[in-house]
C-alpha cells in the first residue's frame, strides 16, 4: 500500500510501515485518509496501517474511517477545515487492559470521594442569576447599564474573554474526551456508575460557563457574535487532541491541569474586569473560576488516589503528559479565515497576564506539591528517574520561557475578527 499526496507542489509519500506506536494502536489499522495542509491534490489508499514519511509537508490530520469515502477528493475539500492540525501520530488504548479493573474497583471510592464535589441543580447558580431579566420592565435599562459598563473594557481584554468563552463553548468535545477514557467512560449515555454520573453532572455544571459568557458578550454589543459563533462551530467540528490515549491516568492528569488553568484564567479576567470598573463581569468570571477550582479539587483527588495505589504508573503518566506538553483544549481554534487565531489569542493572554507561560510552570509546581511527588516512595528505578524529571521541570520551563521572551519575534500587533478586525498588541 502506498499513496501520494500533492500539496502546493510538495509531494509527500505515506508508506505502509509500522511506526513506533503502531503496535500500541490497534485502531491505526483503519486509517484511510490523510490530509495535508492546504492540500488540493488527490489521494488513493486502502485502509491500512500507515506511517508518514515527509519532512517537508505538514501533516494536518488523520481521519479514521472504516471504509474509503466514495468521493475522496470531495471529502478532502469538505473536511479540510475540520481535521486536527497536529503532527504526531494518534495513539489509542495504551493502558493495559488489566488496569481497567483498577478503575472499576474504584467506583465506590469515587461515589464517596468525587461525586460529593458536585453541586445539586437546586443549589447551583444559573446564568440568568447574573443577566438582565428579559421578562422584567426594567430589562432595557439593565441592558443599557451593562453596555455602559462594558464600553470601558479594552479590546485586548475582550479578545481574552471571547477566547475563554469560545473555549468553554466547545464543551461537547470535552465530554467526548472524558468518554474516550477506558474504565471510566459512560458506556450507555445514562450509565449509573459513579464515574459516568460524575462526567455528565460535571458537563452540566460546565455548560453554564459558556452560556453565561456568551450571553454577556452578546449584550455588550462590543464583539462580532456571528464570527464568534462560526469559531465555536469550527472548534467543535475540529475536536481536540489532548494525547491522553484513552488512559484515565493521562486523562485525569490532563483534566487536573486544565481545571487549574481555567481557574487561573477566569480568576484573572475577574480581577481585570474589576480594574476596568465592571463589577458585574468580575462577579461572573469569579463565579466561574470558583467552579473550576472545585472541579480541580475533584480531579486532583483522583490522581492523588492513583499515586497512592499505583505510584509507578502514575508518575510515568505525569512524565508522559509533561513531555508531550499539555495542549490547550481550544488549540484547534479557527474562525474561517485566520489560521493563527489561537496563537494570537494565546499571545494576548500572555501579554495581558490572563494566562501565561509562568502560569503553566506554576501549575505544574502546584500539582507536584499537591501530589507530594518529591516525596513519593516505593518507586522503581525508572519511576525515580521520572520523578526527578518531573520535579526539575517547573524551573526548566521558567528558564526556557525567560530565554524565549528575550528573543521574541513576529508581528507586534494583530487584528481579531471577533472584535470587527480591530488591532491589538500581541507582544
DSSP letter string over 399-410? Answer: HHHHHHHHT--S
93 annotated as a binding-site residue: no
Q: Rounded to whole angstroms, how far apart are CA atoms 249 and 192? A: 22
206 annotated as a binding-site residue: yes
Q: Residue 101 Cβ, how far from Fe ion at the closest point, in Å? A: 29
Q: Does 260 interact with Fe ion (rule: CB under 5 A)?
A: no
Q: Does 296 interact with Fe ion (rule: CB under 5 A)?
A: no
Q: Does 206 interact with Fe ion (rule: CB under 5 A)?
A: yes
Q: Rounded to whole angstroms, how far apart are CA atoms 172 and 235? A: 10
Q: Rounded to whole angstroms, how far apart are CA atoms 268 and 265? A: 5
Q: Does 224 interact with Fe ion (rule: CB under 5 A)?
A: no
The residues that are catalytic are 125, 168, 206, 209, 259, 262, 291-292, 295
Q: Rounded to whole angstroms, how far apart are CA atoms 190 and 193? A: 9
295 annotated as a binding-site residue: yes
Q: Rounded to whole angstroms, how far apart are CA atoms 297 and 291? A: 10
Contact (CB, 8 A) for 334 and 238: yes
Specify the residue, 80 or 327, whose C-beta has the smaller distance to Fe ion: 327
137 annotated as a binding-site residue: no
133 annotated as a binding-site residue: no
Q: Residue 205 Cβ, how far from Fe ion at the closest point, in Å? A: 8
Q: Residue 321 Cβ, how far from Fe ion at the closest point, in Å? A: 17
The neighbouring-strand residues paired with 11 are 6
CA dihedral 269, 328, 373, 377 (to 10 degrees): 150
Specify the residue, 35 or 295, whose C-beta has the smaller distance to Fe ion: 295
Which residue has cell 483522583?
A: 302
402 annotated as a binding-site residue: no
The C-alpha cell of 341 is what?
487565531
Count other C-beta atoms under 10 Å from residue 356's C-beta. Answer: 18
Binding residues among 147-176 for Fe ion as defined by CB under 5 A: 168
Binding window for Fe ion (CB under 5 A); candidates: 24-32, 244-252, 288-296, 410-418:
288-296
Specify the residue, 184 or 315, whose C-beta has the smaller distance to Fe ion: 184
Specify the residue, 259 or 338, whose C-beta has the smaller distance to Fe ion: 259
Binding residues among 226-255 for Fe ion as defined by CB under 5 A: none
Binding window for Fe ion (CB under 5 A); candidates: 98-106, 153-161, 259-267, 318-326:
259-267
> Can you say how many angstroms the Cα of residue 225 is from the centroid of all Cα atoms in its chain?
22
Binding window for Fe ion (CB under 5 A); candidates: 88-96, 292-300, 343-351, 410-418:
292-300
Q: Rounded to whole angstroms, how far apart are CA atoms 87 and 324? A: 12
Binding window for Fe ion (CB under 5 A); candidates: 7-15, 103-111, 137-145, 295-303:
295-303
Q: Which of 194, 355, 144 is nearest to 270 (CA)?
A: 355
Give ∠ CA 3-8-12 in degrees, rounded to 5: 30
Q: Does 209 interact with Fe ion (rule: CB under 5 A)?
A: yes
Q: Residue 277 Cβ, how far from Fe ion at the closest point, in Å? A: 25
How many chain residues are in contact with Fe ion, going by CB under 5 A?
A: 7
Q: Does 292 interact with Fe ion (rule: CB under 5 A)?
A: yes
The neighbouring-strand residues paired with 6 are 11
Q: Which residues are annotated as a binding site for Fe cation?
A: 168, 206, 209, 259, 292, 295
Residues that bind Fe ion (CB under 5 A): 168, 206, 209, 259, 262, 292, 295
Amino acid at each position: 500500500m502506498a499513496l501520494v499526496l500533492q500539496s502546493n507542489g510538495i509531494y509527500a509519500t505515506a508508506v505502509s510501515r509500522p511506526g513506533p506506536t503502531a503496535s500500541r494502536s490497534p485502531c491505526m489499522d483503519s486509517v484511510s485518509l490523510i490530509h495535508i495542509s492546504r492540500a488540493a491534490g488527490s489521494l488513493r489508499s486502502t485502509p491500512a496501517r500507515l506511517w508518514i514519511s515527509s519532512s517537508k509537508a505538514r501533516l494536518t490530520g488523520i481521519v479514521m474511517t472504516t471504509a474509503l469515502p466514495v468521493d475522496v477528493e470531495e471529502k478532502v475539500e469538505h473536511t479540510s477545515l475540520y481535521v486536527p492540525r497536529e503532527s504526531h501520530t494518534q495513539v489509542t488504548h495504551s493502558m493495559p487492559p488489566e488496569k481497567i479493573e483498577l478503575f472499576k474497583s474504584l467506583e465506590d471510592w469515587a461515589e464517596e470521594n468525587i461525586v460529593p464535589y458536585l453541586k445539586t441543580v437546586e443549589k447551583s447558580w444559573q446564568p440568568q442569576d447574573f443577566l438582565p431579566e428579559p421578562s422584567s420592565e426594567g430589562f432595557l435599562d439593565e441592558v443599557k447599564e451593562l453596555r455602559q459598563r462594558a464600553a470601558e473594557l479594552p479590546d485586548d481584554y475582550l479578545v481574552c474573554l471571547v477566547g475563554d468563552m469560545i473555549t468553554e463553548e466547545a464543551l461537547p468535545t470535552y465530554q467526548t474526551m472524558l468518554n474516550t477514557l477506558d474504565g471510566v467512560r459512560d458506556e450507555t449515555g445514562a450509565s449509573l456508575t459513579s464515574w459516568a454520573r460524575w462526567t455528565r453532572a460535571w458537563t452540566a455544571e460546565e455548560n453554564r460557563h459558556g452560556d453565561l459568557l456568551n450571553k454577556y458578550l452578546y449584550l455588550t454589543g462590543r464583539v462580532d457574535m456571528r464570527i464568534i459563533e462560526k469559531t465555536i462551530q469550527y472548534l467543535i467540528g475540529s475536536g481536540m487532541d489532548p494525547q491522553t490515549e484513552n488512559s484515565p491516568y493521562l486523562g485525569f492528569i490532563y483534566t487536573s491541569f486544565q481545571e487549574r488553568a481555567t481557574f487561573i484564567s477566569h480568576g484573572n479576567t475577574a480581577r481585570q474586569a474589576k480594574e476596568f470598573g465592571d463589577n458585574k463581569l468580575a462577579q461572573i468570571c469569579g463565579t466561574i473560576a470558583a467552579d473550576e477550582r472545585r472541579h480541580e479539587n475533584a480531579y486532583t483527588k483522583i490522581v492523588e488516589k492513583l499515586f497512592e495505589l499505583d505510584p509507578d504508573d502514575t508518575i510515568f503518566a505525569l512524565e508522559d503528559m509533561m513531555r508531550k506538553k499539555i495542549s490547550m483544549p481550544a488549540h484547534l481554534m479557527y474562525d474561517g479565515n485566520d489560521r493563527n487565531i489561537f496563537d494570537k489569542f494565546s499571545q494576548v493572554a500572555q501579554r495581558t497576564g490572563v494566562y501565561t507561560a509562568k502560569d503553566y510552570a506554576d501549575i505544574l509546581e502546584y500539582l507536584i506539591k499537591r501530589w507530594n511527588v518529591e516525596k513519593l516512595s516505593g518507586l522503581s528505578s525508572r519511576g525515580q528517574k521520572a520523578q526527578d524529571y518531573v520535579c526539575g521541570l517547573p524551573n526548566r520551563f521558567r528558564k526556557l520561557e525567560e530565554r524565549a521572551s528575550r528573543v521574541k519575534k513576529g508581528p507586534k500587533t494583530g487584528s481579531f475578527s471577533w472584535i470587527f478586525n480591530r488591532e491589538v498588541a500581541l507582544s
